[in-house]
Amino acid sequence: MPWLLLLFVVLPAVEIYLLIQLGQLIGGLQTFGLILATGLLGSYMTKKQGLAVWTELNKKLGSGQMPGTELIDGGIILVSGTLLVTPGVLTDLLGFLGLFPVTRGFIRHFVQAFFKGKSGISINFGAFGGNQGFANPTSGQFVNDPIRQSSTSASDSSESFSGAEQSSSKDASSKTPPVELSGKAKSRPSVDQ
């Protein structure tokens, strides 16, 4: 609720105040022209930066790599373009910060830290560094890790092959019974009847 209040009440009020102050400082017609100019420049820069990120994303996918930073950059550019089209001084400033590659790197760092802290689970693609898969930060246990699964399944299969004679001598009652469904499935009358 506080985020919605900030986004839909506080931010527009600040924008209106800044536009009034800017209009008194440089004039109403010049303020209107500035709003149009930032909107046009912002849409041009959004298109240019978006195509650059799209090209890098396709290169990574074509070479078989997982695009990590490109996906985050694409999201930042999308939000920045939306902020630049929205009339206002503060939103234009924030929008331009997301379109320049240098400042976008800082924003990307904060976005990654924000989502890592919120989820409780860190998702590591090769682009972010570390192993591929999901890791629980409290236990450090990897889940759905193709590298670790292939190495453990290979060692498990060699152990199970060497222990095949031992497993045949085990008691059949030690095996777990198949899962049974409780309750009967009721038959429904067909539509044709």
Residue 78 to residue 47: CA distance in whole angstroms? 10
Average pLDDT over residues 123-130: 50
pLDDT number for residue 190: 52
Q: 119: which 2 tokens?
A: 């989820």
Residue bearing tokens 């999308």: 78
pLDDT number for residue 86: 86
Q: What is the largest CA-CA distance in the chain?
A: 93
Helix (H) or strand (E) holding 134: strand 133-135
- More confident position, 162 or 116: 116
- Reported for 70-74, long-range contacts at CB under 8 A and 24+ positions apart, including other chains, are 70/127, 72/108, 72/111, 72/112, 73/104, 73/108, 74/50
- More confident position, 1 or 122: 1
Q: How confident is the model at residue 191 (pLDDT cuts 50, 70, 90)?
A: low
pLDDT number for residue 85: 87
pLDDT number for residue 97: 93
Q: How confident is the model at residue 114 (pLDDT cuts 50, 70, 90)?
A: confident
- More confident position, 5 or 153: 5
Whether 39 and 85 have beta carbons less than 8 Å apart is answered as yes
What's the pTM?
0.58
Residue 8 to residue 89: CA distance in whole angstroms? 16
Structure confidence by residue, pLDDT tens digits, 50-101 = 999 999 999 999 998 888 888 899 999 999 999 998 888 999 999 999 999 8
